[in-house]
């Protein structure tokens, strides 16, 4: 069984490609089952495991498989599922086997592979992905153990290092960028599209700047009203955007929509109604909520999740010591997990030895019982039992030693005495 991680992230692929490879939340269960079927068609033993993590910054397939080339199989699955050209996708993928896959999983969970170094949101996203995979039967012994250990590693990294200190969140970066367009956010009307965790985080940061008004646009009005109430704002339906977009100076969007919610024409009409007063727009969604062509308008300043990523990279030098400490912790835990995998590899051998030993024991025990039933002396029966067990257990190793030659015989000659060195 080989562990693997195949995918792309904000460092290997632009948002235009990431959105093509992204899985919608309602797709994940089906995709996990499709991944298992994909591997099982290649190797019919049916013991493969799979889980998929899909966020605005990454799409990754984690698997444990017995197929001959699991990395290539995993990469082709991602391309096939999304109907993408494999040759065009392949240069953007990282394909990590066994040891590297384990290290990558631990780094992702700990926030070391995130656009915002040390951010904690990714851990919740991993837990959601694993819960989905588990619900559809995607997890087995290997992936379950891998992710449980990744959670422990993440907790250790966050509690013993300063990896999260000094980090600039995407929400804080959005505020910082908006201040380049508007001197005073307190004089601006702010619209948030969506009501998820990222929007909640952004609303918290912008609310601290006391904007003129806060509005939440959401598909479900009731959920939008709950979030709006927290910040003294109001809620509208997504369907109202067409008529009300022009009222807002700052627009932050992050939904799970598979298609853009705001098109070029909608923004053109809004800018015209605003008499070309600038609009600051941030699209944190993948796939994108706002058509990229909007960025070409003179009075619309559109930033994507990748643009904000460049802002949050500032101050990295302040965290290098914490990163080194975190990497050391992760490397130690990787070695521990690989030792567990090595132990798993010999489990079938140990089970086979135990089954053979039990069969021999039962055979000699039955022979002894028959001797006792015939009235033979108990000491003679015990003597025969012990000799019979010893002869049967020694037969295999002795035959192996006789058949072996050269280096193999030398190795057996060294190992066999250790194997049969029992307690005295």
Is 338 marked as binding a ligand?
no
Is 419 marked as binding a ligand?
no
Is 119 marked as binding a ligand?
yes
Is 196 marked as binding a ligand?
yes
Is 355 marked as binding a ligand?
no
Is 55 marked as binding a ligand?
yes
Rounded CA separation 7/9 (Å): 7
Cβ atoms 147, 49 nearer than 8 A: no
Rounded CA separation 283/279 (Å): 13
DSSP for residue 97: E
Using alpha carbons, list the distances in angstroms from residue 409 to 208, 322, 346, 395, 421.
Answer: 76, 51, 22, 16, 19
Rounded CA separation 87/253 (Å): 32
Is 114 marked as binding a ligand?
yes
Is 160 marked as binding a ligand?
no
Is 364 marked as binding a ligand?
no
- The packing angle between helices 121-135 and 98-109, to 10°, is 120
Alpha helical stretches, state H, 231-302: 241-244, 264-273
Of 150, 172, 68, 163, the residue nearest 118 (C-alpha): 163
Is 255 marked as binding a ligand?
no
Of 254, 252, 260, the residue nearest 233 (C-alpha): 252
Q: Which residues sit opposite 214 in a β-bridge?
A: 190
Catalytic option among 56, 101, 252, 305? 56
254 is annotated as an active-site residue: no
Residue 43's SS3 state is coil
Is 105 marked as binding a ligand?
no
For residue 61, give every residue at least 6 positions away whose Cβ sits within 8 Å of its Cβ, in sequence order, or none: 5, 6, 7, 35, 50, 51, 52, 74, 77, 78
What separation, in Å, do the N-terminal and C-terminal C-alpha atoms of the chain show?
Answer: 38
Is 195 marked as binding a ligand?
yes
Is 141 marked as binding a ligand?
no
Is 158 marked as binding a ligand?
no
Residue 400 tokens read as 């192996």
Is 198 marked as binding a ligand?
yes
Of 59, 62, 54, the residue nearest 36 (C-alpha): 62
Annotated binding site, which residues? 55-58, 114, 119-121, 125, 194-199
Annotated active-site positions, please? 56
Annotated binding site for NADP(+), which residues? 194-199
Annotated binding site for substrate, which residues? 55-58, 114, 119-121, 125
């Amino acid at each position: 069984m080989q562990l693997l991680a195949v995918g792309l992230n904000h460092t290997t692929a632009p948002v235009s490609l990431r959105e093509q490879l992204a899985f919608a939340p309602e797709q994940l269960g089906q995709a996990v089952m499709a991944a298992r079927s994909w591997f099982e068609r290649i190797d019919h033993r049916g013991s493969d495991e799979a889980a998929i993590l899909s966020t605005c910054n990454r799409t990754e397939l984690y698997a444990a498989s017995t197929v001959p080339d699991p990395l290539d199989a995993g990469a082709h699955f991602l391309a096939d599922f999304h109907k993408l050209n494999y040759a065009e996708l392949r240069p953007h993928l990282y394909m990590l086997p066994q040891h590297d896959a384990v290290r990558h999983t631990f780094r992702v969970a700990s926030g070391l592979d995130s656009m915002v170094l040390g951010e904690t949101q990714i851990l919740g996203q991993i837990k959601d992905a694993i819960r989905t995979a588990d619900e559809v039967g995607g997890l087995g012994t290997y992936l379950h153990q891998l992710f449980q250990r990744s959670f422990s590693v993440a907790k250790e990294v966050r509690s013993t290092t300063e990896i999260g200190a000094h980090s600039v969140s995407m929400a804080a970066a959005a505020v910082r960028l908006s201040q380049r367009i508007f001197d005073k956010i307190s004089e601006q009307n702010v619209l948030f599209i969506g009501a998820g965790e990222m929007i909640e985080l952004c609303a918290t940061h912008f609310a601290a700047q006391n904007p003129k008004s806060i509005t939440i646009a959401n598909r479900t009005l009731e959920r939008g009203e709950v979030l709006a109430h927290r910040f003294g704002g109001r809620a509208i339906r997504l369907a109202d955007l067409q008529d009300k977009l022009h009222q807002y100076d700052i627009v932050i969007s992050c939904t799970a929509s598979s298609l853009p919610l705001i098109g070029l024409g909608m923004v053109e009409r809004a800018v015209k109604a605003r008499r070309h007063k600038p609009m600051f727009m941030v699209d944190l969604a993948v796939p994108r909520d706002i058509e990229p062509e909007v960025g070409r308008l003179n009075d619309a300043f559109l930033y994507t999740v990748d643009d904000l990523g460049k802002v949050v990279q500032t101050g990295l030098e302040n965290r290098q010591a914490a990163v080194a400490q975190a990497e050391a912790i992760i490397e130690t835990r990787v070695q521990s997990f690989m030792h567990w995998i090595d132990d798993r590899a010999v489990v079938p051998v140990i089970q086979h030895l135990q089954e053979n030993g039990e069969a021999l024991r039962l055979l000699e025990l039955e022979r002894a019982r028959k001797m006792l039933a015939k009235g033979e002396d108990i000491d003679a029966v015990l003597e025969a039992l012990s000799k019979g067990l010893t002869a049967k257990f020694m037969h295999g190793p002795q035959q192996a030693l006789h058949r072996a030659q050269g280096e193999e015989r030398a190795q057996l000659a060294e190992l066999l005495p250790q194997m049969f060195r029992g307690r005295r």
